[in-house]
Amino acid sequence: MHWGDTPEQAAFRAEVRAFIAAEFPAEYRPDPDAQHSLEPEDVWGYNWPVDRVSADPDRAAGARRWAAALAARGWIVPHWPEEYGGAGLTAVAEFILHEEMMRAGVPTVNGIGAFLLGPTLIAHGTPEQRARHLPPIASGERTWAQGFSEPGAGSDLASLRTRAVRDGDDYVLDGQKVWTSLAHYADWLFVLVRTDPDAPKHAGITFLLVDTATPGVTIRPITDIRGDTPFAEVFFDGARVPVRNRVGAENRGWYVAMDALSFERAGIGATVKLERALTRLVEQVRADGGSAVLRHEIARRYIELRVLYNLARYTVSRQAHGGVLGYEASVNQLFGAELAQRLARTGTKAFGELAQLTAPGERHPLAAEFTRLRFDAVAATFLGGTTEIQRNVIATRGLNLPRK
């Protein structure tokens, strides 16, 4: 299919490029030593939730100025209706906005609160919840983390054991969450808890909003293979959460959560991130020379990246025509995750023994970028849903194969 821009889309793309050139703060420069997150929308050297509270005053001010510039146009949450602080953009226009930001090497803002929690509150929240929580997300003043996974309840999320017992106007929470991305930088969490231990495991689950400053909530960063802290474990020890912070009905949180997870992005972040890495690899191999086998492998990675881009365009095309994403998001996730691992291995072959260096230095031709990519890629096939889960979704929802 032909994915070329229409005249209107081309004009919007030019508008986005001009906006970035004029509004991105000069003091907000990339920091190659501050890569704390593994999300596909990350841009090398930036991590907005971390940057906004940086000890470097220029970096913190730059991150907040960038959020304010985006918020003024509704571009932190471009897909939200204007009444909630968004821009009401079409799916294609939002895709173009994120693509141009990634290609310009500037960070998106407010991640999971913007594209997961916000649409969930618009669909399931009370008027009070929407009034309280949506404006701070749209303005970049409040960040969120997703508290779903637990020890022993990752891929089998419905096996979660964190308890919430009703006590008057509060729920009292006890339990643990793990692998919670950037929880230690978040202002609030949205979590799944078990409110009926006797119900079938997909029932008896409730969706709650939790202020991280709540007494009884303890957040501990987890150090990963790179030595960074992109996620954390969260402990609830008698934490009291008001009933008014419940989204949807009690014991119906599983269905709210499934709606939340359906608000997937088209996958342009991973495409551009890997494309930029491959471009730098090609430039280096051209300068150093490379075997025919290596050049052939690089060519295959390029073809696969074009496939990934077209998968992303197909997904956004489905959204633009009113389609509800199902297995398509799993296809994107699976193909992109495995491609990240293949690209990392290709870079390892290109640099040989130098690929073992873990820190930038004079000896490493690309400042250890592909060493870090190789570390990142270890997590790629279970981050956001394991390969096995994605394949099951594709088989049952995409190919209509039986579940057993």
CATH code where residue 385 lies: 1.20.140.10
115 three-state secondary structure: helix
Q: What is the arithmetic mean of pLDDT over 160-168?
A: 97
Contact 339, 271 (CB under 8 A): no
Question: What pLDDT is stored for residue 385 in this prediction?
Answer: 76
Using the predicted structure, report yes or no on whether residue 77 has a pLDDT greater than 70.
yes
Contact 185, 53 (CB under 8 A): yes
Q: Specify the CATH number for the domain of residue 213.
A: 2.40.110.10
Last residue of a domain, one of 259, 280, 309: 259
Name the band, by pLDDT with cuts 50, 70 and 90, for residue 153. Answer: confident
Does 89 map to a domain? Answer: yes
Domain with 237 in it: 144-259
Bridge-based pairing state of the strands 163-167 and 205-211: unpaired
Q: What is the rounded distance in angstroms from the CA atom of residue 397 to the CA atom of residue 349?
A: 37
Q: What is the rounded distance in angstroms from the CA atom of residue 216 to the CA atom of residue 171?
A: 12
Task: Give the total number of structural domains in the chain.
Answer: 3
Question: What pLDDT is stored for residue 156 in this prediction?
Answer: 82
Q: What is the rounded distance in angstroms from the CA atom of residue 229 to the CA atom of residue 232?
A: 7
Instruction: Say whether 264 is catalytic.
Output: yes
Question: What pLDDT is stored for residue 323 in this prediction?
Answer: 66
Does 118 map to a domain? Answer: no
Sign of the CA dihedral 263, 315, 71, 53? positive
Does 40 map to a domain? Answer: yes
Using the predicted structure, report yes or no on whether residue 165 has a pLDDT greater than 80.
yes
Using the predicted structure, report yes or no on whether residue 34 has a pLDDT greater than 70.
no
Q: Residue 25 carries which DSSP code?
A: -
Q: Residue 359 carries which DSSP code?
A: S
Q: Select the more confidently predicted residue: 248 or 354.
A: 248
Does 253 map to a domain? Answer: yes
> Are residues 295 and 239 part of one domain?
no
Question: What pLDDT is stored for residue 382 in this prediction?
Answer: 81
Query: Which residue in the list 264, 297, 304, 369 is annotated as catalytic?
Result: 264
Last residue of a domain, one of 259, 274, 308: 259
Q: What is the arithmetic mean of pLDDT over 276-289?
A: 89
Question: pLDDT tens-digit profile of 115-127?
Answer: 999 999 999 999 9
Question: What pLDDT is stored for residue 2 in this prediction?
Answer: 64
Name the band, by pLDDT with cuts 50, 70 and 90, for residue 353. Answer: confident
Contact 196, 158 (CB under 8 A): no
Last residue of a domain, one of 85, 109, 133: 109
Q: What is the rounded distance in angstroms from the CA atom of residue 358 to the CA atom of residue 226?
A: 8
Question: pLDDT tens-digit profile of 183-223?
Answer: 999 999 999 999 999 999 899 999 999 999 999 999 999 99
Using the predicted structure, report yes or no on whether residue 106 has a pLDDT greater than 80.
yes
Q: What is the rounded distance in angstroms from the CA atom of residue 1 to the CA atom of residue 313?
A: 10
> Are residues 351 and 274 part of one domain?
yes
Using the predicted structure, report yes or no on whether residue 379 has a pLDDT greater than 80.
yes
> DSSP labels for 303-339?
HHHHHHHHHHHHHHHHHHTTPPPSHHHHHHHHHHHHH
Whole-angstrom CA distances from 4 to 1, 110, 227, 275, 322 are 9, 29, 42, 19, 20
Does 325 map to a domain? Answer: yes
81 three-state secondary structure: coil
Sign of the CA dihedral 378, 277, 48, 314? negative
> Is the full-model pTM beyond 0.85?
yes
Q: What is the rounded distance in angstroms from the CA atom of residue 208 to the CA atom of residue 260?
A: 13
Q: What is the arithmetic mean of pLDDT over 255-275?
A: 81
Name the band, by pLDDT with cuts 50, 70 and 90, for residue 363. Answer: low
217: closest CA among 243, 239, 191?
A: 239
> Are residues 393 and 287 part of one domain?
yes
